Protein backbone atom coordinates (compact mmCIF):
# COMPACT_ATOMS: atom_id res chain seq x y z
CA UNK A 1 0.00 0.00 0.00
CA UNK A 2 1.30 3.45 -0.92
CA UNK A 3 2.26 5.78 1.90
CA UNK A 4 2.20 9.54 2.15
CA UNK A 5 5.63 11.10 2.49
CA UNK A 6 7.31 14.48 2.49
CA UNK A 7 8.91 15.62 -0.74
CA UNK A 8 11.33 18.51 -1.03
CA UNK A 9 13.12 19.63 -4.19
CA UNK A 10 16.24 21.78 -4.48
CA UNK A 11 18.43 22.98 -7.34
CA UNK A 12 22.09 22.44 -6.63
CA UNK A 13 25.43 22.80 -8.43
CA UNK A 14 27.00 19.50 -9.54
CA UNK A 15 29.92 19.87 -7.13
CA UNK A 16 27.54 20.12 -4.15
CA UNK A 17 25.40 17.24 -5.46
CA UNK A 18 28.43 14.99 -5.76
CA UNK A 19 29.58 15.76 -2.21
CA UNK A 20 26.13 15.12 -0.71
CA UNK A 21 25.73 11.95 -2.78
CA UNK A 22 29.04 10.64 -1.47
CA UNK A 23 27.96 11.28 2.13
CA UNK A 24 24.56 9.65 1.54
CA UNK A 25 26.19 6.50 0.22
CA UNK A 26 27.72 5.93 3.68
CA UNK A 27 24.33 5.66 5.39
CA UNK A 28 21.78 4.82 2.67
CA UNK A 29 21.80 2.11 0.03
CA UNK A 30 21.16 2.57 -3.68
CA UNK A 31 17.68 1.64 -4.88
CA UNK A 32 17.53 -1.91 -6.25
CA UNK A 33 16.57 -0.64 -9.73
CA UNK A 34 19.77 1.24 -10.55
CA UNK A 35 21.91 -0.02 -13.40
CA UNK A 36 25.65 -0.55 -13.62
CA UNK A 37 26.21 3.21 -13.78
CA UNK A 38 24.52 3.69 -10.40
CA UNK A 39 21.51 5.50 -11.90
CA UNK A 40 18.55 5.04 -14.20
CA UNK A 41 16.94 7.21 -16.85
CA UNK A 42 13.39 8.48 -16.36
CA UNK A 43 11.12 9.79 -19.09
CA UNK A 44 7.61 11.03 -18.25
CA UNK A 45 4.68 12.45 -20.18
CA UNK A 46 2.68 14.93 -18.10
CA UNK A 47 -0.98 15.67 -18.74
CA UNK A 48 -2.84 18.96 -18.49
CA UNK A 49 -5.97 20.71 -19.73
CA UNK A 50 -6.28 23.73 -22.05
CA UNK A 51 -5.97 26.08 -19.05
CA UNK A 52 -2.70 24.49 -17.80
CA UNK A 53 -4.47 23.83 -14.51
CA UNK A 54 -2.05 21.14 -13.29
CA UNK A 55 1.00 23.26 -14.08
CA UNK A 56 -0.47 26.38 -12.44
CA UNK A 57 -1.61 24.49 -9.33
CA UNK A 58 1.92 23.14 -8.95
CA UNK A 59 3.52 26.56 -9.45
CA UNK A 60 1.08 28.19 -7.01
CA UNK A 61 1.48 25.48 -4.36
CA UNK A 62 -2.23 24.60 -4.45
CA UNK A 63 -3.10 22.01 -1.83
CA UNK A 64 -4.74 19.60 -2.44
CA UNK A 65 -3.79 18.92 -6.06
CA UNK A 66 -3.10 16.00 -8.35
CA UNK A 67 -1.41 15.31 -11.67
CA UNK A 68 -1.14 12.37 -14.02
CA UNK A 69 1.97 11.19 -15.81
CA UNK A 70 3.01 8.17 -17.84
CA UNK A 71 6.54 7.05 -17.07
CA UNK A 72 9.14 4.73 -18.55
CA UNK A 73 12.60 3.81 -17.32
CA UNK A 74 15.79 3.55 -19.37
CA UNK A 75 13.80 4.21 -22.59
CA UNK A 76 12.31 0.71 -22.36
CA UNK A 77 8.79 -0.34 -23.38
CA UNK A 78 8.96 -3.22 -20.88
CA UNK A 79 7.52 -1.21 -17.99
CA UNK A 80 5.10 1.60 -18.82
CA UNK A 81 3.38 3.05 -15.77
CA UNK A 82 0.59 5.53 -15.25
CA UNK A 83 1.15 7.47 -12.04
CA UNK A 84 -1.13 9.78 -10.13
CA UNK A 85 0.79 12.13 -7.89
CA UNK A 86 -1.28 13.78 -5.19
CA UNK A 87 -0.34 16.52 -2.74
CA UNK A 88 -2.53 16.63 0.37
CA UNK A 89 -1.72 18.70 3.48
CA UNK A 90 1.85 19.12 2.27
CA UNK A 91 2.40 15.37 1.87
CA UNK A 92 2.83 13.43 -1.39
CA UNK A 93 1.16 10.19 -2.40
CA UNK A 94 1.94 8.34 -5.61
CA UNK A 95 -0.22 5.54 -6.99
CA UNK A 96 0.50 3.67 -10.20
CA UNK A 97 -0.64 0.97 -12.58
CA UNK A 98 0.69 -0.54 -15.81
CA UNK A 99 -0.29 0.91 -19.19
CA UNK A 100 -0.48 -1.39 -22.23
CA UNK A 101 1.69 -0.21 -25.13
CA UNK A 102 -1.27 0.00 -27.52
CA UNK A 103 -3.12 2.27 -25.10
CA UNK A 104 -0.05 4.50 -24.74
CA UNK A 105 0.15 4.77 -28.51
CA UNK A 106 -3.53 5.78 -28.69
CA UNK A 107 -3.03 8.46 -26.04
CA UNK A 108 0.07 9.82 -27.78
CA UNK A 109 -1.91 9.97 -31.04
CA UNK A 110 -4.47 12.21 -29.33
CA UNK A 111 -7.12 9.52 -28.98
CA UNK A 112 -9.09 8.68 -25.87
CA UNK A 113 -8.82 4.91 -25.37
CA UNK A 114 -11.72 2.63 -24.49
CA UNK A 115 -11.61 0.59 -21.32
CA UNK A 116 -13.10 -2.61 -19.99
CA UNK A 117 -14.11 -3.87 -16.56
CA UNK A 118 -10.56 -5.26 -16.18
CA UNK A 119 -8.91 -1.88 -16.82
CA UNK A 120 -7.22 -0.66 -13.60
CA UNK A 121 -9.13 2.04 -11.72
CA UNK A 122 -6.32 4.58 -12.12
CA UNK A 123 -6.33 4.19 -15.90
CA UNK A 124 -10.13 4.57 -15.93
CA UNK A 125 -9.74 7.76 -13.90
CA UNK A 126 -7.25 9.20 -16.43
CA UNK A 127 -9.52 8.30 -19.34
CA UNK A 128 -12.49 9.96 -17.58
CA UNK A 129 -10.38 13.09 -16.99
CA UNK A 130 -9.39 13.06 -20.66
CA UNK A 131 -13.06 12.91 -21.63
CA UNK A 132 -14.49 15.42 -19.16
CA UNK A 133 -11.63 17.85 -18.46
CA UNK A 134 -9.83 17.57 -21.77
CA UNK A 135 -6.61 16.28 -20.21
CA UNK A 136 -4.01 15.44 -22.83
CA UNK A 137 -0.27 14.83 -22.98
CA UNK A 138 1.47 18.21 -23.03
CA UNK A 139 5.13 17.81 -22.07
CA UNK A 140 7.86 15.19 -21.82
CA UNK A 141 10.32 15.52 -18.95
CA UNK A 142 13.49 13.39 -18.91
CA UNK A 143 16.46 13.07 -16.55
CA UNK A 144 18.88 10.64 -14.91
CA UNK A 145 18.27 9.68 -11.28
CA UNK A 146 20.54 8.36 -8.53
CA UNK A 147 18.14 7.05 -5.85
CA UNK A 148 19.02 6.19 -2.26
CA UNK A 149 16.65 4.46 0.16
CA UNK A 150 16.42 3.78 3.87
CA UNK A 151 13.70 1.20 4.34
CA UNK A 152 13.22 1.53 8.12
CA UNK A 153 11.98 5.09 7.90
CA UNK A 154 10.30 5.23 4.47
CA UNK A 155 13.13 7.55 3.43
CA UNK A 156 14.05 8.12 -0.21
CA UNK A 157 16.65 10.65 -1.36
CA UNK A 158 17.12 11.15 -5.08
CA UNK A 159 19.62 13.13 -7.11
CA UNK A 160 18.38 14.10 -10.57
CA UNK A 161 20.67 15.32 -13.33
CA UNK A 162 20.45 16.36 -16.96
CA UNK A 163 16.88 17.58 -16.67
CA UNK A 164 15.30 18.37 -20.02
CA UNK A 165 11.82 18.77 -21.51
CA UNK A 166 10.00 18.80 -24.83
CA UNK A 167 6.48 19.46 -26.03
CA UNK A 168 7.00 17.08 -28.98
CA UNK A 169 4.99 14.19 -27.53
CA UNK A 170 5.86 11.86 -30.42
CA UNK A 171 9.46 11.79 -29.14
CA UNK A 172 8.44 9.88 -26.03
Tell me the domains of the chain and their CATH numbers: 14-171 (3.20.100.30)
pLDDT in tens, the chain (172 residues): 678 888 888 999 999 999 999 999 999 999 998 988 899 999 999 999 999 999 999 999 999 999 999 999 999 999 999 999 999 999 999 999 999 999 999 999 989 999 999 999 999 999 999 999 999 999 999 999 999 998 787 788 999 999 999 999 988 9
**Are 97 and 123 contacting, i.e. CB atoms less than 8 angstroms apart?**
yes
Q: Are strands 65-73 and 80-88 parallel, antiparallel or unpaired?
A: antiparallel
Count of residues in the chain:
172
- Look at residue 35 in the predicted model and tell me its pLDDT: 84
Cα(169)–Cα(75) distance, integer angstroms: 14
Nearest to residue 39, comparing CAs of 161, 165, 151, 149? 161
CB atoms within 10 A of CB 51: 10
Q: Give SS3 for 137.
A: strand
pLDDT score, position 21: 93
Distance from C-alpha of 115 to C-alpha of 103, rounded to nearest angstrom: 9
| List of residues 6+ apart from 16 with CB closer than 8 A | none
Q: What is the pLDDT of residue 30?
A: 93
Amino acid sequence: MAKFRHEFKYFSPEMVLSAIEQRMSAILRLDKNVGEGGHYAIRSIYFDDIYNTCFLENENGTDPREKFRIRIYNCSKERISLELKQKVNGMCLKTSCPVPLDMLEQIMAGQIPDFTAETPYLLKKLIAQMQFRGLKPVVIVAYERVPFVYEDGNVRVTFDRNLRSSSIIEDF
